[in-house]
Structure 1
Amino acid sequence: MKFPYGVSDFDSLILEHYHYVDRTDHIPLLEEAGKQLLFLRPRRFGKSLLLSMLENYYDLNKADRFEALFGGLAIGRNPTARHNRYFVLKWDFSEISAVGDGGEIKRALYRYLNDRIGAFSDYYGKVLPNPVRIDPQDALSSFQSLLNTTRKTGHPLYLLIDEYDNFANELMMGRRDTEESRYQAILSGEGCMKALFKTIKMAASGEGLSRVFITGVSPVAMSDLTSAYNVAKNIYLQARFNELCGFRETEIAGMVAEIARECGFPQARTDDALAMMRTFYNGYRFSRRAEEHVYNPTLALYFLEEFQRDCRYPDEILDSNLAMDRGKMHYI
Protein backbone atom coordinates (compact mmCIF):
# COMPACT_ATOMS: atom_id res chain seq x y z
CA MET A 1 0.00 0.00 0.00
CA LYS A 2 1.46 3.32 -1.13
CA PHE A 3 0.26 6.24 0.97
CA PRO A 4 -0.15 9.66 -0.73
CA TYR A 5 1.19 11.83 2.07
CA GLY A 6 1.64 15.34 0.67
CA VAL A 7 0.25 14.38 -2.76
CA SER A 8 -2.48 16.75 -3.92
CA ASP A 9 -2.32 16.10 -7.67
CA PHE A 10 -5.09 13.64 -8.55
CA ASP A 11 -3.54 12.69 -11.90
CA SER A 12 -0.26 11.64 -10.27
CA LEU A 13 -2.02 9.93 -7.38
CA ILE A 14 -4.04 7.67 -9.67
CA LEU A 15 -1.44 6.96 -12.35
CA GLU A 16 1.34 6.32 -9.82
CA HIS A 17 -0.93 3.91 -7.94
CA TYR A 18 -1.14 5.64 -4.58
CA HIS A 19 -3.85 4.49 -2.22
CA TYR A 20 -6.91 6.63 -2.90
CA VAL A 21 -9.96 6.74 -0.65
CA ASP A 22 -12.66 7.22 -3.26
CA ARG A 23 -14.83 10.30 -2.87
CA THR A 24 -15.93 10.54 -6.49
CA ASP A 25 -19.37 9.27 -5.50
CA HIS A 26 -19.97 12.79 -4.14
CA ILE A 27 -19.69 14.39 -7.59
CA PRO A 28 -23.42 14.01 -8.41
CA LEU A 29 -24.26 15.49 -5.01
CA LEU A 30 -22.01 18.47 -5.67
CA GLU A 31 -23.65 19.03 -9.05
CA GLU A 32 -27.06 18.97 -7.41
CA ALA A 33 -25.98 21.25 -4.56
CA GLY A 34 -25.63 24.35 -6.72
CA LYS A 35 -23.54 26.19 -9.26
CA GLN A 36 -21.53 28.35 -6.86
CA LEU A 37 -20.31 26.46 -3.81
CA LEU A 38 -18.18 27.32 -0.77
CA PHE A 39 -16.53 24.43 1.08
CA LEU A 40 -14.46 25.05 4.23
CA ARG A 41 -12.16 22.71 6.10
CA PRO A 42 -9.09 23.10 8.37
CA ARG A 43 -5.59 23.32 6.96
CA ARG A 44 -4.16 20.21 5.30
CA PHE A 45 -7.52 18.45 5.18
CA GLY A 46 -7.49 17.32 1.55
CA LYS A 47 -9.15 20.34 -0.07
CA SER A 48 -6.51 20.72 -2.79
CA LEU A 49 -6.78 17.05 -3.76
CA LEU A 50 -10.55 17.43 -3.94
CA LEU A 51 -10.21 20.35 -6.36
CA SER A 52 -7.64 18.45 -8.40
CA MET A 53 -10.07 15.55 -8.69
CA LEU A 54 -12.82 17.89 -9.88
CA GLU A 55 -10.42 19.56 -12.30
CA ASN A 56 -9.53 16.23 -13.90
CA TYR A 57 -13.16 15.13 -14.02
CA TYR A 58 -14.53 18.21 -15.77
CA ASP A 59 -11.58 19.22 -17.98
CA LEU A 60 -12.57 18.86 -21.64
CA ASN A 61 -8.91 18.40 -22.59
CA LYS A 62 -8.79 15.18 -20.56
CA ALA A 63 -11.77 13.42 -22.12
CA ASP A 64 -9.50 10.80 -23.69
CA ARG A 65 -8.03 10.00 -20.26
CA PHE A 66 -11.30 9.56 -18.41
CA GLU A 67 -11.07 5.78 -18.26
CA ALA A 68 -7.45 5.82 -17.07
CA LEU A 69 -8.20 8.31 -14.30
CA PHE A 70 -11.73 7.37 -13.23
CA GLY A 71 -12.43 3.94 -14.68
CA GLY A 72 -11.68 2.16 -11.42
CA LEU A 73 -13.60 4.60 -9.23
CA ALA A 74 -17.26 4.98 -8.29
CA ILE A 75 -17.93 7.82 -10.73
CA GLY A 76 -16.28 5.90 -13.56
CA ARG A 77 -19.00 3.27 -13.34
CA ASN A 78 -21.78 5.85 -13.47
CA PRO A 79 -20.47 9.22 -14.70
CA THR A 80 -22.60 12.33 -14.86
CA ALA A 81 -23.38 13.97 -18.18
CA ARG A 82 -21.09 16.90 -17.35
CA HIS A 83 -17.80 15.03 -17.20
CA ASN A 84 -15.10 16.47 -19.49
CA ARG A 85 -17.45 19.20 -20.74
CA TYR A 86 -15.82 22.30 -19.26
CA PHE A 87 -12.94 24.66 -19.62
CA VAL A 88 -11.43 24.60 -16.13
CA LEU A 89 -9.69 27.64 -14.67
CA LYS A 90 -8.00 27.01 -11.33
CA TRP A 91 -6.65 29.61 -8.91
CA ASP A 92 -4.73 28.85 -5.72
CA PHE A 93 -4.61 31.94 -3.52
CA SER A 94 -2.01 30.39 -1.22
CA GLU A 95 0.48 31.27 -3.96
CA ILE A 96 -0.17 35.01 -3.60
CA SER A 97 2.12 37.07 -1.40
CA ALA A 98 0.59 39.12 1.40
CA VAL A 99 3.72 41.27 1.73
CA GLY A 100 3.49 45.03 1.28
CA ASP A 101 0.73 47.61 1.34
CA GLY A 102 -2.65 47.34 -0.37
CA GLY A 103 -1.23 48.41 -3.71
CA GLU A 104 1.55 45.83 -3.62
CA ILE A 105 -0.88 43.07 -2.67
CA LYS A 106 -3.12 44.08 -5.57
CA ARG A 107 -0.19 43.91 -7.98
CA ALA A 108 0.78 40.48 -6.63
CA LEU A 109 -2.80 39.28 -7.05
CA TYR A 110 -3.05 40.63 -10.60
CA ARG A 111 0.31 39.12 -11.58
CA TYR A 112 -0.83 35.75 -10.32
CA LEU A 113 -4.20 35.94 -12.08
CA ASN A 114 -2.58 37.01 -15.34
CA ASP A 115 -0.10 34.14 -15.11
CA ARG A 116 -2.91 31.64 -14.60
CA ILE A 117 -5.02 33.15 -17.39
CA GLY A 118 -2.02 33.02 -19.72
CA ALA A 119 -1.41 29.38 -18.82
CA PHE A 120 -5.11 28.68 -19.46
CA SER A 121 -4.85 30.25 -22.92
CA ASP A 122 -1.83 28.10 -23.76
CA TYR A 123 -3.34 24.90 -22.37
CA TYR A 124 -6.58 25.25 -24.33
CA GLY A 125 -4.94 26.83 -27.37
CA LYS A 126 -6.19 24.17 -29.80
CA VAL A 127 -9.79 24.65 -28.69
CA LEU A 128 -9.95 28.43 -28.35
CA PRO A 129 -10.67 30.49 -31.48
CA ASN A 130 -7.98 33.00 -30.50
CA PRO A 131 -5.55 33.58 -27.63
CA VAL A 132 -6.84 35.31 -24.54
CA ARG A 133 -5.74 38.95 -24.42
CA ILE A 134 -3.69 39.65 -21.30
CA ASP A 135 -3.80 43.15 -19.84
CA PRO A 136 -0.58 43.51 -17.79
CA GLN A 137 -2.12 46.26 -15.66
CA ASP A 138 -5.60 44.86 -15.11
CA ALA A 139 -6.17 41.15 -14.52
CA LEU A 140 -9.93 41.70 -14.34
CA SER A 141 -9.79 42.86 -17.95
CA SER A 142 -7.79 39.73 -18.78
CA PHE A 143 -10.47 37.62 -17.10
CA GLN A 144 -13.16 39.35 -19.16
CA SER A 145 -11.18 38.57 -22.31
CA LEU A 146 -11.03 34.93 -21.22
CA LEU A 147 -14.80 34.87 -20.79
CA ASN A 148 -15.34 36.48 -24.19
CA THR A 149 -13.06 33.94 -25.83
CA THR A 150 -14.51 30.82 -24.20
CA ARG A 151 -18.09 31.91 -24.95
CA LYS A 152 -17.33 31.68 -28.67
CA THR A 153 -16.68 27.93 -28.35
CA GLY A 154 -19.97 26.95 -26.73
CA HIS A 155 -18.15 25.19 -23.88
CA PRO A 156 -18.91 26.39 -20.33
CA LEU A 157 -16.26 27.55 -17.86
CA TYR A 158 -15.70 26.05 -14.40
CA LEU A 159 -13.73 28.20 -11.93
CA LEU A 160 -11.98 26.45 -9.04
CA ILE A 161 -10.53 28.63 -6.27
CA ASP A 162 -8.36 26.95 -3.65
CA GLU A 163 -7.61 28.64 -0.30
CA TYR A 164 -9.61 31.72 -1.23
CA ASP A 165 -8.86 33.27 2.18
CA ASN A 166 -5.18 32.36 2.48
CA PHE A 167 -3.48 35.69 2.05
CA ALA A 168 -6.36 37.50 3.77
CA ASN A 169 -5.82 35.22 6.77
CA GLU A 170 -2.11 35.99 6.68
CA LEU A 171 -3.00 39.64 7.13
CA MET A 172 -5.41 38.89 9.96
CA MET A 173 -2.79 36.80 11.74
CA GLY A 174 -0.20 39.58 11.73
CA ARG A 175 0.15 42.41 14.18
CA ARG A 176 -3.31 43.86 14.62
CA ASP A 177 -2.16 47.47 14.79
CA THR A 178 -0.44 47.27 11.40
CA GLU A 179 -2.40 44.66 9.45
CA GLU A 180 -6.00 45.76 9.92
CA SER A 181 -5.69 48.62 7.44
CA ARG A 182 -4.15 46.33 4.81
CA TYR A 183 -6.90 43.76 5.37
CA GLN A 184 -9.56 46.41 4.93
CA ALA A 185 -7.76 47.76 1.87
CA ILE A 186 -8.22 44.52 -0.05
CA LEU A 187 -11.66 43.46 1.21
CA SER A 188 -13.65 46.67 1.60
CA GLY A 189 -14.64 49.54 -0.66
CA GLU A 190 -12.97 49.00 -4.02
CA GLY A 191 -10.32 46.66 -2.63
CA CYS A 192 -8.79 44.18 -5.05
CA MET A 193 -10.38 41.08 -3.51
CA LYS A 194 -13.79 42.69 -3.39
CA ALA A 195 -13.46 43.85 -7.00
CA LEU A 196 -12.38 40.37 -8.09
CA PHE A 197 -15.32 38.60 -6.47
CA LYS A 198 -17.71 41.22 -7.79
CA THR A 199 -16.41 40.38 -11.26
CA ILE A 200 -16.84 36.64 -10.61
CA LYS A 201 -20.41 37.25 -9.46
CA MET A 202 -21.22 39.17 -12.64
CA ALA A 203 -19.48 36.57 -14.82
CA ALA A 204 -21.68 33.85 -13.33
CA SER A 205 -24.80 35.84 -14.23
CA GLY A 206 -24.92 34.87 -17.88
CA GLU A 207 -21.46 36.13 -18.87
CA GLY A 208 -19.93 32.72 -19.55
CA LEU A 209 -18.98 31.41 -16.10
CA SER A 210 -21.07 28.31 -15.47
CA ARG A 211 -19.81 26.92 -12.15
CA VAL A 212 -17.64 28.02 -9.23
CA PHE A 213 -16.21 25.88 -6.43
CA ILE A 214 -14.34 27.67 -3.65
CA THR A 215 -12.38 26.18 -0.76
CA GLY A 216 -10.95 27.88 2.29
CA VAL A 217 -10.43 27.66 6.03
CA SER A 218 -12.71 30.34 7.43
CA PRO A 219 -15.94 32.12 6.43
CA VAL A 220 -14.65 35.43 7.79
CA ALA A 221 -13.16 36.81 4.57
CA MET A 222 -16.22 35.75 2.56
CA SER A 223 -18.45 37.48 5.09
CA ASP A 224 -16.36 40.65 4.83
CA LEU A 225 -16.84 40.68 1.06
CA THR A 226 -20.54 41.37 1.82
CA SER A 227 -22.55 42.12 -1.33
CA ALA A 228 -19.58 41.67 -3.66
CA TYR A 229 -20.11 37.91 -3.56
CA ASN A 230 -23.28 36.91 -1.74
CA VAL A 231 -24.27 34.11 -4.12
CA ALA A 232 -22.15 31.17 -2.95
CA LYS A 233 -23.98 28.32 -1.27
CA ASN A 234 -22.27 27.23 1.93
CA ILE A 235 -22.12 23.44 1.88
CA TYR A 236 -19.45 22.88 4.51
CA LEU A 237 -21.92 22.15 7.33
CA GLN A 238 -24.18 19.82 5.35
CA ALA A 239 -24.21 16.26 6.67
CA ARG A 240 -23.94 14.72 3.20
CA PHE A 241 -20.55 16.42 2.75
CA ASN A 242 -19.21 15.65 6.22
CA GLU A 243 -16.82 13.04 4.81
CA LEU A 244 -16.08 14.74 1.49
CA CYS A 245 -12.57 15.29 2.86
CA GLY A 246 -11.14 13.14 5.63
CA PHE A 247 -11.25 9.42 6.41
CA ARG A 248 -14.01 7.35 7.96
CA GLU A 249 -13.06 4.99 10.78
CA THR A 250 -13.83 1.93 8.67
CA GLU A 251 -11.37 3.18 6.06
CA ILE A 252 -8.69 3.78 8.69
CA ALA A 253 -9.32 0.33 10.17
CA GLY A 254 -8.78 -1.29 6.78
CA MET A 255 -5.47 0.50 6.26
CA VAL A 256 -4.26 -0.32 9.77
CA ALA A 257 -5.20 -3.98 9.30
CA GLU A 258 -3.22 -4.14 6.06
CA ILE A 259 -0.11 -2.68 7.71
CA ALA A 260 -0.47 -5.04 10.67
CA ARG A 261 -0.65 -7.96 8.27
CA GLU A 262 2.51 -6.79 6.46
CA CYS A 263 4.32 -6.41 9.79
CA GLY A 264 3.06 -9.72 11.16
CA PHE A 265 1.28 -8.15 14.13
CA PRO A 266 -1.42 -9.94 16.12
CA GLN A 267 -4.96 -8.59 16.28
CA ALA A 268 -4.29 -6.99 19.65
CA ARG A 269 -1.60 -4.76 18.12
CA THR A 270 -3.97 -3.81 15.31
CA ASP A 271 -6.63 -2.83 17.82
CA ASP A 272 -4.08 -0.83 19.81
CA ALA A 273 -2.96 1.13 16.73
CA LEU A 274 -6.53 1.92 15.78
CA ALA A 275 -7.31 3.03 19.34
CA MET A 276 -4.31 5.36 19.31
CA MET A 277 -5.34 6.92 16.01
CA ARG A 278 -8.89 7.30 17.26
CA THR A 279 -7.64 9.14 20.34
CA PHE A 280 -5.44 11.64 18.51
CA TYR A 281 -6.91 12.07 15.03
CA ASN A 282 -10.63 11.31 15.07
CA GLY A 283 -12.08 14.59 16.30
CA TYR A 284 -13.97 16.15 13.40
CA ARG A 285 -17.71 16.25 12.86
CA PHE A 286 -18.65 19.15 10.62
CA SER A 287 -22.40 18.71 10.79
CA ARG A 288 -24.55 18.12 13.83
CA ARG A 289 -26.55 15.69 11.73
CA ALA A 290 -23.53 13.65 10.67
CA GLU A 291 -23.45 10.17 12.15
CA GLU A 292 -19.69 9.78 12.45
CA HIS A 293 -16.50 11.70 13.03
CA VAL A 294 -13.79 11.87 10.40
CA TYR A 295 -10.02 11.62 10.70
CA ASN A 296 -7.73 14.42 9.61
CA PRO A 297 -6.21 12.91 6.42
CA THR A 298 -2.77 14.50 6.72
CA LEU A 299 -2.31 13.36 10.31
CA ALA A 300 -3.67 9.91 9.53
CA LEU A 301 -1.39 9.46 6.52
CA TYR A 302 1.59 10.69 8.52
CA PHE A 303 0.93 8.04 11.17
CA LEU A 304 0.19 5.27 8.67
CA GLU A 305 3.26 5.95 6.55
CA GLU A 306 5.54 5.87 9.59
CA PHE A 307 3.79 2.78 10.96
CA GLN A 308 4.15 0.97 7.64
CA ARG A 309 7.80 1.90 7.13
CA ASP A 310 9.09 1.05 10.60
CA CYS A 311 6.39 -1.29 11.94
CA ARG A 312 6.18 1.02 14.95
CA TYR A 313 4.33 4.16 15.89
CA PRO A 314 5.92 7.53 15.05
CA ASP A 315 7.90 9.14 17.85
CA GLU A 316 5.89 12.35 17.47
CA ILE A 317 2.14 11.92 17.23
CA LEU A 318 1.61 15.43 15.84
CA ASP A 319 2.93 15.96 12.33
CA SER A 320 5.20 19.02 12.41
CA ASN A 321 3.67 20.25 9.15
CA LEU A 322 0.44 20.86 11.03
CA ALA A 323 1.97 22.51 14.08
CA MET A 324 0.60 25.97 14.69
CA ASP A 325 3.17 28.65 13.93
CA ARG A 326 4.10 31.41 16.35
CA GLY A 327 2.19 34.07 14.46
CA LYS A 328 -1.10 32.23 14.76
CA MET A 329 -0.47 31.51 18.44
CA HIS A 330 0.22 35.21 19.02
CA TYR A 331 -2.97 36.15 17.21
CA ILE A 332 -5.09 33.75 19.28
Structure 2
Amino acid sequence: MSLLYYLGVLTRMGRDPFGKLQFTIPNLVVRRLYVERMRDSFLSTFEHIKLRDEVSEIFYTTGELGPLCDFIEARLLRVFDNRDLRWSNELVVKTLFLVALFNDAAYIMDSETAIDRGYGDLSLIIRPDMRKYQLLDHLLEFKHLRWEELGAKNAEMRELSREELRQLPPVAEKLAQAEAKLAGYRETLERVYGEKLRLQTHAVACIGLERLVWANRDKECG
Protein backbone atom coordinates (compact mmCIF):
# COMPACT_ATOMS: atom_id res chain seq x y z
CA MET A 1 0.00 0.00 0.00
CA SER A 2 2.76 2.46 0.93
CA LEU A 3 4.60 1.74 -2.33
CA LEU A 4 1.46 2.35 -4.40
CA TYR A 5 0.95 5.63 -2.54
CA TYR A 6 4.60 6.63 -3.10
CA LEU A 7 4.37 5.88 -6.82
CA GLY A 8 1.16 7.89 -7.16
CA VAL A 9 -1.04 4.92 -8.03
CA LEU A 10 -3.10 5.65 -4.90
CA THR A 11 -3.88 8.92 -3.16
CA ARG A 12 -5.35 9.72 0.23
CA MET A 13 -9.07 10.52 0.37
CA GLY A 14 -9.41 11.00 4.13
CA ARG A 15 -10.27 8.73 7.03
CA ASP A 16 -13.18 6.42 7.75
CA PRO A 17 -15.40 6.71 10.88
CA PHE A 18 -12.81 4.66 12.79
CA GLY A 19 -9.93 6.93 11.85
CA LYS A 20 -8.35 4.54 9.36
CA LEU A 21 -6.78 6.07 6.27
CA GLN A 22 -8.73 5.65 3.04
CA PHE A 23 -7.13 5.64 -0.40
CA THR A 24 -8.47 6.03 -3.91
CA ILE A 25 -7.17 5.84 -7.48
CA PRO A 26 -6.22 9.47 -8.23
CA ASN A 27 -7.19 9.95 -11.87
CA LEU A 28 -9.05 8.34 -14.74
CA VAL A 29 -5.94 7.33 -16.68
CA VAL A 30 -4.47 5.37 -13.77
CA ARG A 31 -7.91 3.94 -12.96
CA ARG A 32 -8.36 2.72 -16.50
CA LEU A 33 -4.92 1.06 -16.55
CA TYR A 34 -5.63 -0.54 -13.17
CA VAL A 35 -9.01 -1.94 -14.21
CA GLU A 36 -7.75 -3.10 -17.59
CA ARG A 37 -4.87 -4.95 -15.94
CA MET A 38 -7.31 -6.76 -13.64
CA ARG A 39 -9.63 -7.51 -16.55
CA ASP A 40 -6.78 -9.03 -18.55
CA SER A 41 -5.82 -11.24 -15.61
CA PHE A 42 -9.40 -12.47 -15.12
CA LEU A 43 -10.45 -12.76 -18.79
CA SER A 44 -7.65 -14.45 -20.64
CA THR A 45 -9.37 -15.57 -23.86
CA PHE A 46 -11.11 -13.83 -26.73
CA GLU A 47 -14.30 -15.76 -26.00
CA HIS A 48 -14.38 -14.49 -22.42
CA ILE A 49 -13.82 -10.89 -23.50
CA LYS A 50 -16.48 -11.15 -26.23
CA LEU A 51 -19.00 -12.57 -23.76
CA ARG A 52 -18.14 -9.86 -21.25
CA ASP A 53 -18.84 -7.21 -23.91
CA GLU A 54 -22.17 -8.83 -24.80
CA VAL A 55 -23.53 -9.09 -21.26
CA SER A 56 -22.31 -5.64 -20.26
CA GLU A 57 -24.01 -4.06 -23.28
CA ILE A 58 -27.27 -5.75 -22.31
CA PHE A 59 -26.90 -4.25 -18.85
CA TYR A 60 -26.00 -0.77 -20.13
CA THR A 61 -29.11 -0.53 -22.31
CA THR A 62 -31.75 -2.50 -20.37
CA GLY A 63 -30.60 -2.75 -16.74
CA GLU A 64 -31.01 -6.53 -16.94
CA LEU A 65 -28.68 -8.16 -14.42
CA GLY A 66 -29.33 -11.82 -15.25
CA PRO A 67 -26.79 -12.32 -18.07
CA LEU A 68 -24.19 -10.19 -16.29
CA CYS A 69 -24.51 -12.12 -13.02
CA ASP A 70 -24.42 -15.44 -14.87
CA PHE A 71 -21.16 -14.32 -16.45
CA ILE A 72 -19.62 -13.11 -13.18
CA GLU A 73 -20.58 -16.33 -11.40
CA ALA A 74 -19.18 -18.52 -14.17
CA ARG A 75 -16.05 -16.58 -15.16
CA LEU A 76 -14.99 -14.33 -12.29
CA LEU A 77 -16.15 -15.77 -8.98
CA ARG A 78 -14.64 -19.14 -9.85
CA VAL A 79 -11.11 -17.74 -9.67
CA PHE A 80 -11.46 -17.72 -5.87
CA ASP A 81 -10.97 -20.72 -3.63
CA ASN A 82 -11.84 -21.50 -0.01
CA ARG A 83 -8.81 -19.62 1.31
CA ASP A 84 -10.11 -16.39 -0.24
CA LEU A 85 -13.37 -16.59 1.70
CA ARG A 86 -11.61 -15.38 4.82
CA TRP A 87 -10.96 -12.00 3.20
CA SER A 88 -14.12 -11.69 1.12
CA ASN A 89 -16.25 -8.56 1.49
CA GLU A 90 -18.25 -6.02 -0.50
CA LEU A 91 -15.05 -4.55 -1.96
CA VAL A 92 -14.24 -7.83 -3.70
CA VAL A 93 -17.72 -7.98 -5.22
CA LYS A 94 -17.59 -4.36 -6.32
CA THR A 95 -14.22 -4.89 -7.96
CA LEU A 96 -15.55 -7.80 -10.02
CA PHE A 97 -18.50 -5.74 -11.24
CA LEU A 98 -16.16 -2.85 -12.05
CA VAL A 99 -13.98 -5.18 -14.12
CA ALA A 100 -17.01 -6.56 -15.95
CA LEU A 101 -18.71 -3.20 -16.58
CA PHE A 102 -15.84 -0.76 -17.07
CA ASN A 103 -16.54 1.54 -20.02
CA ASP A 104 -15.14 5.04 -19.64
CA ALA A 105 -15.99 5.89 -23.26
CA ALA A 106 -19.73 5.85 -22.55
CA TYR A 107 -19.86 6.42 -18.79
CA ILE A 108 -18.42 8.51 -16.01
CA MET A 109 -17.66 5.59 -13.74
CA ASP A 110 -17.05 6.11 -10.06
CA SER A 111 -16.55 3.94 -7.01
CA GLU A 112 -17.66 5.16 -3.59
CA THR A 113 -19.43 8.08 -5.22
CA ALA A 114 -20.16 10.87 -2.75
CA ILE A 115 -23.95 11.33 -2.82
CA ASP A 116 -25.30 13.76 -0.27
CA ARG A 117 -23.99 12.34 3.04
CA GLY A 118 -23.47 8.81 1.77
CA TYR A 119 -21.29 6.95 -0.70
CA GLY A 120 -22.72 4.87 -3.54
CA ASP A 121 -20.76 1.69 -4.18
CA LEU A 122 -20.56 1.93 -7.97
CA SER A 123 -22.09 4.47 -10.33
CA LEU A 124 -22.26 4.61 -14.12
CA ILE A 125 -23.46 8.04 -15.24
CA ILE A 126 -23.78 8.56 -18.99
CA ARG A 127 -21.31 11.05 -20.43
CA PRO A 128 -23.05 14.20 -21.78
CA ASP A 129 -22.06 13.47 -25.39
CA MET A 130 -23.37 9.89 -25.11
CA ARG A 131 -26.91 10.68 -23.91
CA LYS A 132 -28.17 10.59 -27.49
CA TYR A 133 -27.66 6.82 -27.46
CA GLN A 134 -29.82 4.08 -25.93
CA LEU A 135 -27.98 3.91 -22.62
CA LEU A 136 -29.17 3.99 -19.02
CA ASP A 137 -27.58 5.48 -15.92
CA HIS A 138 -26.85 2.92 -13.21
CA LEU A 139 -26.17 2.91 -9.49
CA LEU A 140 -25.23 -0.32 -7.72
CA GLU A 141 -25.05 -1.14 -4.02
CA PHE A 142 -23.37 -4.36 -2.89
CA LYS A 143 -23.74 -6.66 0.10
CA HIS A 144 -21.80 -9.78 1.02
CA LEU A 145 -22.83 -12.78 3.10
CA ARG A 146 -21.09 -15.98 4.10
CA TRP A 147 -22.90 -19.29 3.82
CA GLU A 148 -22.63 -19.65 7.59
CA GLU A 149 -24.78 -16.53 8.00
CA LEU A 150 -27.59 -18.45 6.29
CA GLY A 151 -27.21 -21.35 8.67
CA ALA A 152 -25.92 -23.40 5.77
CA LYS A 153 -22.91 -25.67 5.67
CA ASN A 154 -24.14 -28.21 3.15
CA ALA A 155 -24.20 -28.46 -0.60
CA GLU A 156 -28.01 -28.43 -0.78
CA MET A 157 -28.20 -24.74 0.12
CA ARG A 158 -25.80 -23.92 -2.69
CA GLU A 159 -28.16 -25.52 -5.19
CA LEU A 160 -31.11 -23.27 -4.37
CA SER A 161 -32.42 -21.07 -7.16
CA ARG A 162 -31.77 -17.35 -7.05
CA GLU A 163 -35.38 -16.71 -6.12
CA GLU A 164 -35.15 -19.19 -3.23
CA LEU A 165 -31.92 -17.62 -2.01
CA ARG A 166 -33.42 -14.14 -2.25
CA GLN A 167 -36.30 -15.17 0.01
CA LEU A 168 -33.99 -16.30 2.83
CA PRO A 169 -34.32 -13.79 5.71
CA PRO A 170 -30.59 -12.86 5.95
CA VAL A 171 -30.42 -12.27 2.19
CA ALA A 172 -33.70 -10.35 2.08
CA GLU A 173 -32.51 -8.16 4.96
CA LYS A 174 -29.24 -7.30 3.20
CA LEU A 175 -31.04 -6.47 -0.03
CA ALA A 176 -33.55 -4.31 1.85
CA GLN A 177 -30.69 -2.38 3.46
CA ALA A 178 -29.12 -1.78 0.06
CA GLU A 179 -32.44 -0.73 -1.47
CA ALA A 180 -33.03 1.78 1.32
CA LYS A 181 -29.68 3.41 0.58
CA LEU A 182 -30.38 3.42 -3.15
CA ALA A 183 -33.75 5.13 -2.65
CA GLY A 184 -32.04 8.00 -0.85
CA TYR A 185 -29.30 8.25 -3.45
CA ARG A 186 -31.90 8.31 -6.24
CA GLU A 187 -33.57 11.38 -4.77
CA THR A 188 -30.26 13.23 -4.66
CA LEU A 189 -29.22 12.28 -8.19
CA GLU A 190 -32.61 13.24 -9.59
CA ARG A 191 -32.23 16.68 -8.04
CA VAL A 192 -28.76 17.04 -9.55
CA TYR A 193 -29.40 15.70 -13.06
CA GLY A 194 -33.09 16.42 -13.48
CA GLU A 195 -35.12 14.92 -16.31
CA LYS A 196 -32.10 13.84 -18.33
CA LEU A 197 -31.31 11.15 -15.75
CA ARG A 198 -32.33 7.63 -16.81
CA LEU A 199 -31.42 5.91 -13.58
CA GLN A 200 -31.64 2.22 -12.79
CA THR A 201 -30.74 1.18 -9.24
CA HIS A 202 -29.49 -2.30 -8.37
CA ALA A 203 -29.10 -3.95 -4.97
CA VAL A 204 -26.78 -6.96 -5.30
CA ALA A 205 -25.90 -9.57 -2.68
CA CYS A 206 -23.04 -12.04 -3.10
CA ILE A 207 -23.14 -15.24 -1.05
CA GLY A 208 -19.88 -16.99 -0.25
CA LEU A 209 -18.16 -15.68 -3.40
CA GLU A 210 -20.30 -18.21 -5.28
CA ARG A 211 -23.83 -16.92 -5.89
CA LEU A 212 -25.33 -13.57 -6.82
CA VAL A 213 -28.87 -12.38 -6.16
CA TRP A 214 -30.30 -8.93 -6.64
CA ALA A 215 -33.26 -6.64 -6.34
CA ASN A 216 -34.16 -3.90 -8.81
CA ARG A 217 -37.38 -1.99 -8.27
CA ASP A 218 -37.21 -0.78 -11.86
CA LYS A 219 -37.40 -4.39 -13.04
CA GLU A 220 -38.22 -7.85 -11.76
CA CYS A 221 -35.91 -9.13 -9.05
CA GLY A 222 -33.30 -11.77 -9.80
**Structure 2 length as normaliser, TM-score?**
0.38
Which structure has greater strand proportion? 2
Larger radius of gyration: 1
